[in-house]
Amino acid sequence: MIEGKNIFFTYHHPDSERAVLDHVSFQIPDGQIVGLFGENGTGKSTLMRIMAGVLTFAWGETDLTLDGVPVQKRRGEVACIFEEGTFLSDLPPRKYGQFLADFFPNFDMAYYEKLLTFFRLEEKAPRKMSRGQRAKLEIAAGLAKRTKYILMDEPFLGKDALVRQDFLKILSGSLTGEETLVIVTHELELMENFIDRAMILHKGRFAADVMMDDLHREGKNLVSLMKDTVGYEDKAYLSLFDEEE
């Protein structure tokens, strides 16, 4: 289980201080696939990096644990697939795989090689790759780690429609049902029938937390949930075209 307790996080600026995460608490049971949604700047990526143990904090009773253990002590059990990439810019794919195998005890080198071949990735440094190639390397490395926890932040960003479909199929085929997956994305329609649960951050707090089966029984979908949660008005743009009296 991923458990967050009273998480508070701010980014300090010379002229101001803004609470990105305002005392949020949550639990994500083992084996659950969760979509973490919200408008830009609501703290989604910040929370993901706290889950990954990349960002640290200290505030009262704040805590984030994986199976009751502080996340900083469980990093080898967490696979991160982040938009900006977690790879080493000078290590070609296969050498990077050898590096990961020393750090992640369940790293599946054979599967990693299959993904490299499927994505047609050449043996050259990531800094010499295109953005799309680097994204594919990030996916291959993340899935081959075979960890219990998988964190994804905008894994579809910058990928064309066919690559997105391939990635979703590969991801579905890679999961055993025991992994806990948290994914941040703006691709609501793509996630509609993939996730088990939707959590929406709004103004630094969770404004919605629903199981997808319950949402569908109400005749709603992720898009309508998002609109209702953030107060989006479909016809607000029409005011721009009102004729002046």
Strands (E) across the chain are located at 2-12, 17-28, 33-38, 63-66, 69-70, 78-82, 149-153, 180-184, 197-202, 205-211
What is the number of other CB atoms lying within 10 angstroms of the CB of residue 12? 7
Report yes or no: 149 and 66 within 8 Å, Cβ to Cβ: yes
- pLDDT: which is higher, 165 or 92: 92
Most confident of 38-47, 115-124, 212-221: 212-221
The model's confidence at residue 76, banded by pLDDT at 50, 70 and 90, is: confident
Q: What is the mean pLDDT of the chain?
A: 86
Asked if 97 contacts 135 with a C-beta cutoff of 8 angstroms, the reply is no
Indicate the range of 24-33, 56-65, 66-75, 180-189 predicted with least confidence: 56-65
The one-character DSSP state at 243 is P
Q: Within 10 A of 90 (CB to CB), how many other CB atoms are there?
A: 11
Q: Where are the domains of the chain?
A: 2-231
Determine whether domain 2-231 maps to CATH 3.40.50.300.
yes
Spatial CB neighbours of 26, under 8 Å, sequence gap ≥ 6: 2, 3, 4, 199, 206, 209
Q: Is the pLDDT of residue 57 over 50?
A: yes
Asked whether residue 60 carries a pLDDT value surpassing 50, the answer given is no
The set of long-range contacts for 70-75, using a CB threshold of 8 Å and a minimum separation of 24, is 74/149
The tally of CA atoms less than 13 A away on the side-chain side of residue 139 is: 30
Strand bridging mode 2-12 / 149-153 = unpaired
Q: Residue 66 is encoded by which pair of tokens?
A: 């994986």
**Res 58: pLDDT:** 54
